[in-house]
A and B are shown apart, each in its own frame.
Chain A
C-alpha cells in the first residue's frame, strides 16, 4: 500500500478546523506570542539613534532579527508537542489509528498542520516588521536591513528552524505520557538552535557566509531526516496500550 496524500489531506483539514476553534491556539500561539515578538524588535530599531557605530548597528539589527526567528523556533514546538499525546489524552488516537492511515502519513499530516500556520504567522510578522522599518526607521537602519543578506537569510531560516522545532516536538509528543511534560521538554529541546542564532545575532559567533550556509545545511539535513527518525520512534502499540511489547 502506497503513501496517500488523500489521507494526509484529510488529517490536515481536520487539524486546521480544530485549530480554528481552539482558543489557546488562536489567541495565544497565533496572536499573543507573535505580537510579543514583533514589539521588542520594532522598538529596538525605531529607538536607535541617528548616528550609531557600525558594530552597534549590527548588534541592534541582529537582536531584532533574532526575535523574528524565535517565532518559528518556539511557536510550532508548543503545537507539535500536543500533536500525538493530545490525540491520546482526548481518546481520539485509537479511532484514527484504526483507519488505514500509515504512521508516515499521520506524521506528515501533523507536521504540515503545524508548519502551515507557523510559516504564515512568521512571514506575516516579518513582513509587518519590514514595512514598519521601511516607513518609520532611520534610513541607515533601513538600508542596512534591505541591502544586506538579512532578508534571504531570514526567509530561509524560518522554515528550517520551524522544521526542526516541529519534528522535535512531535518526537517528544510520541514518547511522552502527558501534554504538559511534552510541551516543556520540546521548549528545552529547541534551545540549541535558538542559542546558536542568538550567538550569531550578538556577534559572539561571527555570522560569515560559510557558517550561515553550514548551519542551514545542517538544519536542512535534520529536517529531511526528522520525519524518518520520528516515524521510527512512532510505536502504534505503545501509543495504544501504553506499554512496550
Chain B
C-alpha cells in the first residue's frame, strides 16, 4: 500500500541536486539544483524549450532523469518510489486533460478513485468549492470554457491534498479574466500553506504569486526572491525628467555624491546609476535646480522581473553567438 513508504527527508518539500535529463544528444535540462520549502510558492521561469515541463515530469516520476538526485515530498526520486511519490503530489499539466464526455463530478470521482481516497463525495465538494464550481458539478466538461476547464483541472489537482502541487503554465492561453481567476485561486492556496511549484513564462505572474523564483534555460541561471534578483542584476538607479534638455549634463551629474554614472534614455529621460538613492536623490534635485532645470519628475527606477529575465536570456543568446 502507499502508506508503506514514509517520507525520509523532511528538510524541504523538494530537494533537487544536480538533476539532468537528456534525450539522446539533446539536453532538456542539466545540473539543476534547488530546494523548495513546505508552504512555499516557487516559480520556475524560462523561455519555451528551457526544460521547465521536463523538470516537472521528472520530479513527478513520469520520466526518468539521466543523472542527479532529488527527493519529492520527502521521498527519494526513483522509479520504484514512483507510485508513492505520485500519491503525495499533484501535477496540473498545461492542457487540462479532462474527459469531455464526462461531467465534472465524474472526472473528479475517477481521479479520487485512482488516488484511493476516502470520503470521495466530501473531497469532491471541497475541491469544487475551492475553485468556485460547486454548482456546476453535473455539467459535462465538453461544454465548459477553457477557463472553467482549467479550474476543473485545478480542483482535480487538489483532491488528494498534495504535499507539492505542480502547476505547469496554469494560465497559458487564458484570457485576462480567466487568468485573474486562476491567480486568485493560487493566492488562496498560498494562504492555505499549499506548497506550489509553478512553471510559467509570465513574469508578472511569477512576481505576484511566488516567494522565490528560479530562471532556467537548460541550466539554472538564477535563483532567489524577485527583489533579490533585481538587486543582483541591476544597480539602483534614479530616473529624472526635465522640461528641456540640460545643455551640459556632465558637470551637473558628475560630482554628485552616490552617483556612479549616468545616461540619457531613448525617451529623453536621464537615468543615473547610484550606490545609495537616499543620498543621491536630494543632492540631484538641488543640482538640477541650481542648473536652472525644470524638474518634471524624479523617482527611483524599478526593474521588473521581466528586466531580470530578459537580461539573462540576452546573455545566453550572446554566449551562443560567441
Contact = CB atoms under 8 A, between A and B. Distances in A.
Interface of A: 1-2, 4, 6-7, 9-11, 13-14, 17-18, 21-22, 90-102, 236-237, 240-241, 243, 245
B101 A11 contact: no
A91 B83 CA distance: 21
Contacts of B23: 241, 243, 245
A6 B87 CA distance: 14
Given A14-B110, A17-B102, A241-B63, A99 B97 contact: no
Contact of B83 (A6, A102, A237, A241): A102
A237 B156 CA distance: 22
B99 interface: yes
Contacts, number: 103
B63 A96 contact: no
Interface stretch (B88-96, B262-270, B303-311): B88-96
Interface string B97-127: 1111110001001111111100000000000
Contact of B57 (A14, A17, A93, A240): A240
A37 B269 CA distance: 83
Interface in B57-72: 57, 60, 62-64
Interface of B: 1-2, 4-5, 23-24, 54, 57, 60, 62-64, 83-84, 86-87, 90-91, 93, 95-102, 106, 109-116, 153, 156
A22 B54 CA distance: 33
A97 B90 CA distance: 11
Contacts of B86: 98-100
Contacts of A245: 23, 64
A110 B64 CA distance: 25
Top 9 A-B pairs ranked by shortest CB distance?
A10-B113, A14-B110, A99-B114, A21-B101, A95-B97, A100-B87, A100-B83, A91-B97, A98-B91
Given A14-B106, A92-B99, A237-B64, A1 B116 contact: no
Contacts of A93: 97
A102 B96 CA distance: 21
Contacts of A9: 113
Contacts of A2: 1
9 contacts: A6-B113, A13-B113, A21-B101, A90-B100, A94-B93, A95-B93, A96-B114, A98-B90, A99-B86
Contacts of A95: 91, 93, 97, 111, 153, 156
B99 A101 contact: no
A94 B5 contact: no
Contact of A18 (B83, B99, B115, B153): B99
Contacts of B84: 1, 100
Given A1-B2, A94-B62, A243-B23, A100 B99 contact: no
Given A1-B5, A1-B83, A241-B23, A100 B115 contact: yes
A137 B1 CA distance: 57
Contact of B62 (A4, A14, A240): A240
A100 B96 CA distance: 18
A7 B160 CA distance: 14
A1 B93 CA distance: 25
A84 to B, nearest CB: 14
Contacts of A101: 83, 114
Contacts of A10: 109-114
A18 B91 contact: no
